[in-house]
Copies of this chain bind each other. A is one copy, B any other.
């Protein structure tokens, strides 16, 4: 019955908008208190929808968390590599895209916290692991394709497999995000280290 009532409440563009509003609210709440402090009712209130509507869209708390990871992954700054970047060679495009993951911007920080939180939760919730693996593999492929374009236009010189190099680079981005967010190093220092590593690894 919950589903039916929700369908009547929600259709077409409004449905897409409400789904998006719920995911934005979930990201904000995760960024504030973490995945493990996330209460579905609070997400619904923050998004201005009823809890049944939230359950209609995401089925369960776990479904909501998986969708929040997917949303963070789709909105990550380095997805810029999926579009043809104007006026940049392959190397510049990869470097700009990865450094943007450490931008001083509220949405970027929220995205980074969601990603880190869902990964950290997956250590204790095996149900999340397939999703973590899938979005991680997508990210790796995006960066690997970007590296491939740099090799083709001559701006990147590789001594090893592009997939290995892409894995190393996204692992560095993740690790530096964690260090920045946990206070181990400053964001500017993280960007400087990442920029230097990208230069050394891709040139």
Within 8 A of B (CB), among A164-203: 164, 167-168, 171-172, 174-176, 178-179, 181-185, 193, 196-197, 200-201
Contacts of A175 in B (CB 8 A): 171-172, 174-175, 178
Q: What is the count of identical protomers in the complex?
A: 2
Contacts of A183 in B (CB 8 A): 122, 126, 128-130, 132-133
Contacts of A200 in B (CB 8 A): 159-160, 201
For the complex, count residues of A whose C-beta is within 8 A of B.
43
Residue with the highest number of chain B CB atoms closer than 10 Å, among A128, A159, A178, A193: A178
Residues of chain A touching chain B, judged by Cβ–Cβ distance below 8 Å, are: 32-34, 36-37, 113, 116-117, 119-124, 126, 128-130, 132-133, 136, 159-160, 164, 167-168, 171-172, 174-176, 178-179, 181-185, 193, 196-197, 200-201
